[in-house]
Chain A
Amino acid sequence: MKTAIKNILKGFGGFGAYIVITIIVPAIVFTAIKNIEFQGIPVGLSQYQYERIVYWLTAFGLLVSGFAFLNYSSPKQSIRKGVFALVQVLVNCLYIWSYKFSGGTDVQMFIFQPFKSYYELLLGGSIGSEDFFKAIVNVLLQDFLVLYMGIYFLTIIIKIYDLIDFTLNRDKIRAERMIK
């Protein structure tokens, strides 16, 4: 019973950590991006974009955290830990990709600033586009995410190897665990 409680507590530790990493921190970051204002005009995310991103991050963040609980609560080097760790990595892929398709990687900002103060511009008589500094900042992380997915594929291979190792050496691992 003591081991069971220890396992469950470890599981809740992992669960809490993943809730913070996958839901709370991204939600705070995207809320900050949404609230970015330039001279009183919002330049960050629209309300629809923000809700869509936060929805998908929360949805997959919950799944990742759920599997993190199962993974972290499983005994060390057990077959079920191998299985849950593999599933968690696969769900993590969905989570990371949700940044892409929800629009989290395509943040666009428009900067439109006069070179002089509006008062000076008005004194000048005419206002033209040459009086303004214009810029569009695109944060496109799609290629970066594809590369990251490639790296994640290697993680999946490692998890599959772990699972095979845990299965083949089951008796030895269990005997070692009993000694400890």
Chain B
Amino acid sequence: MFFLLFDALQNFVNVMGGIMLFFFPFLSPIGAFMVAWISAVLSVAPQFNIAFYIVICVILVIAGIFINSYWPGDKPLAEESKYDEDLLEEQSTDTFEEEGE
């Protein structure tokens, strides 16, 4: 009833409805496929055991903290660091040779 009172909202609803009706034949079969796999997963999901989901959530958060502590993503590439090591080795060898001369 609320939507019928305002022309602008009525037009908006019509446009949205038109878009949805246009996409419905394409997206609906994909949606049905999605529903099939989701139903399969949900059939094995524990029912009325909220503690199970709380534990999983806590494990995910703790795992995230550990992963970010060990691999924060600010280390240079392995190839680059190897390149740096090689460069350092070359420099030290050159210095040693110079000193030897």
Contact = CB atoms under 8 A, between A and B. Distances in A.
A147 B20 contact: yes
B72 A150 contact: no
A120 B63 CA distance: 68
A33 to B, nearest CB: 16
A62 B53 contact: yes
B24 interface: yes
Interface of B: prevailing SS = helix
A73 interface: yes
A97 B35 contact: yes
Interface string B31-67: 1111100110110010010100110111111011101
Interface size class of A (residues with CB under 8 A): 35 or more
Given A11-B68, A147-B28, 13 more contacts: A7-B68, A62-B53, A63-B56, A66-B59, A69-B60, A69-B61, A75-B74, A97-B35, A97-B42, A146-B28, A149-B31, A150-B28, A151-B27
14 contacts: A3-B74, A11-B61, A11-B65, A11-B68, A58-B53, A69-B60, A75-B74, A97-B35, A147-B28, A150-B27, A150-B30, A150-B34, A171-B77, A171-B79
